[in-house]
């Protein structure tokens, strides 16, 4: 279940799955999943009726809908795992009204966990810390914060909290204080909420940034494309820091877009191996006793210079020409060796493999 069927991550994921499926003896199909909970549930029910034995989803729906999907998986003997999602509606849900649903999900053998897109709500802050550390290297001290809606990306809240925390610590020991400017209509956390349907930040907002002396826009999601057009037109001196990747903004990097990043598509290996193990009735000797431990972090590849971008082109299939599997971070043989039942295969080895794909290790 994917959010879109275009882009370098989607293409890389499919290329890797295509390279793996014959050797690992599986087949797959991709379906576009709506963020509407009822539509998502219907999509997955149709796939289960068609014989799907496992669901790997990029979309985190509310806990009650997730429970309904889990119950359907149980009925059909299928399994449920997440890809580039932190399943926050289950693993970081503090809504007492959802307690029973969360407990049901976490006690179900059908729930296999997830690998995140670079951050976890319960830990939080890694993207906020990265963005702050990049901005602090410059002279920009008047900044504004942007994010996508929290219902879709709740991890943005912890990223913003961490950025503000670091700014306050900096201000306590330096004379060149950070000033965080709130946009008109900003959300409760002071960040401008940029919705999915908005193609560009309104020109009036950019003009307000100019009037307030904003020097850098800090987007804790992949929002560069939505911010870029009117900034380039109305405020070309404003820098944009963001967490994400879009082919349409590469021409503005690193002059206006200062940061790029993406979690390698190869993290699809985690939910894939989890599903294949479960379907085949295999498990690791060190299979986690606590379901919380089945939620693991993917690793962002942070790109902050032309040199790093060039290194990424030849080090990771996400960024390679044609998203070629030739540049995969993991071989078919290495994936096979991670399956339960293979010699030396453990849950910890699977986690360590994913954890090793850091900027330092991949980009040198």
pLDDT value for 364 = 83
Average pLDDT, the chain: 95
pLDDT value for 124 = 63
Peptide bond into 254 cis (omega under 30): yes
pLDDT value for 35 = 81
42-81: burial string, b at 16+ Cβ within 10 Å, e else: ebbeebbeeebbbbbbbbbbbbbbbbbbbebbeebebbbb
Residue 196, both tokens: 């999915």
Cα 139 to Cα 119: distance, rounded to the nearest angstrom: 27
The contacts of residue 63 (CB under 8 Å, 6+ apart) are: 89, 90, 93, 95, 98, 101, 102, 105
pLDDT value for 156 = 92
pLDDT tens digits, 189-241 = 999 999 988 889 999 999 999 999 999 999 999 999 999 999 999 999 999 99
Q: Is there a contact between 88 and 67 (Cβ–Cβ < 8 Å)?
A: no
CA distance from start to end of the chain: 33
Q: Does 285 have pLDDT greater than 90?
A: yes
Q: Taking Cα atoms as reference points, which of 237, 270, 271, 240 lies closest to residue 254?
A: 240
Residue 252, both tokens: 């503005």
Cα 65 to Cα 133: distance, rounded to the nearest angstrom: 38
The contacts of residue 122 (CB under 8 Å, 6+ apart) are: 91, 92
Q: Is there a contact between 300 and 116 (Cβ–Cβ < 8 Å)?
A: no
pLDDT tens digits, 94-106 = 899 999 999 999 9
* Number of DSSP helices (H) and strands (E) in the chain, helices first: 14, 11
pLDDT tens digits, 56-104 = 999 999 999 999 999 999 999 999 999 999 999 999 898 999 999 999 9
259-262: long-range contacts (C-beta < 8 A, 24 or more apart)? 259/130, 259/131, 259/134, 259/302, 259/303, 259/304, 260/224, 260/302, 260/303, 260/304, 260/309, 261/118, 261/130, 261/300, 261/301, 261/302, 261/303, 262/8, 262/9, 262/300, 262/301, 262/318, 262/319
Cα 84 to Cα 264: distance, rounded to the nearest angstrom: 10
Q: Please, which residues bridge with residue 219 across strands?
A: 146, 242
pLDDT tens digits, 117-135 = 988 887 768 899 999 999 9
pLDDT value for 34 = 87
Residue 65, both tokens: 């809908």
pLDDT value for 125 = 83
- Averaged pLDDT, 304-328: 95
pLDDT value for 199 = 84
DSSP state for residue 98 in the 8-state scheme: G
Helix (H, G, I), strand (E, B) or coil at 220: coil
DSSP secondary structure string for all residues of 141-167: -EEEEEE--TTT-THHHHHHHHHHHHH
**pLDDT > 90 fraction of the chain, expressed in percent and rounded:** 90
- Averaged pLDDT, 293-310: 95
Q: Is there a contact between 223 and 148 (Cβ–Cβ < 8 Å)?
A: yes
E strand segments, the chain: 54-57, 79-83, 111-115, 142-147, 179-181, 192-193, 216-219, 239-242, 260-262, 295-296, 301-303
Residue 273, both tokens: 């191996």
């Amino acid at each position: 279940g994917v959010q879109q069927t275009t882009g370098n991550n989607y293409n890389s994921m499919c290329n890797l799955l295509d390279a793996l499926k014959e050797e690992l003896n599986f087949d797959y199909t991709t379906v576009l999943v709506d963020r509407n909970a009822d539509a998502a549930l219907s999509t997955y029910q149709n796939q289960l009726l068609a014989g799907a034995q496992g669901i790997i989803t990029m979309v985190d729906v509310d806990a009650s809908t997730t429970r309904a999907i889990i119950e359907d998986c149980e009925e059909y003997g299928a399994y449920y795992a997440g890809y580039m999602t932190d399943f926050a509606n289950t693993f970081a849900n503090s809504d007492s009204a959802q307690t029973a649903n969360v407990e049901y999900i976490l006690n179900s053998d059908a729930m296999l966990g997830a690998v995140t897109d670079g951050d976890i709500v319960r830990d939080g802050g890694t993207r906020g810390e990265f963005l702050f550390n990049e901005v602090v290297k410059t002279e920009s001290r008047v900044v504004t914060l942007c994010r996508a809606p929290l219902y879709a990306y709740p991890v943005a809240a912890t990223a913003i909290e961490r950025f503000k925390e670091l700014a306050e610590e900096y201000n306590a020991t330096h004379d060149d204080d950070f000033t965080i400017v709130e946009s008109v209509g900003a959300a409760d956390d002071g960040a401008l909420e940029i919705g999915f349907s908005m193609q560009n930040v309104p020109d009036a907002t950019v003009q307000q940034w100019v009037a307030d002396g904003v020097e850098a826009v800090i987007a804790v999601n992949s929002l560069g494309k939505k911010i870029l057009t009117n900034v380039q037109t109305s405020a070309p001196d404003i820098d944009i820091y963001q967490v994400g990747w879009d082919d349409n903004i590469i021409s503005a990097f690193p002059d206006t877009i200062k940061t790029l990043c993406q979690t390698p598509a190869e993290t699809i290996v985690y939910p894939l191996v989890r599903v294949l193990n479960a379907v085949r009735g295999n498990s690791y000797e060190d299979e986690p006793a606590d379901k919380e431990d089945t939620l693991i972090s993917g690793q962002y590849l942070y790109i902050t210079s032309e040199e790093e971008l060039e290194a990424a082109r030849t080090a990771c299939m996400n960024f390679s020409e044609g998203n070629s599997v030739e540049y995969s971070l993991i071989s078919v043989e290495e994936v096979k060796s991670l399956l339960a039942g293979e010699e030396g295969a453990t849950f910890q080895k699977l986690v360590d493999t994913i954890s090793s794909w850091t900027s330092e290790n991949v980009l040198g």
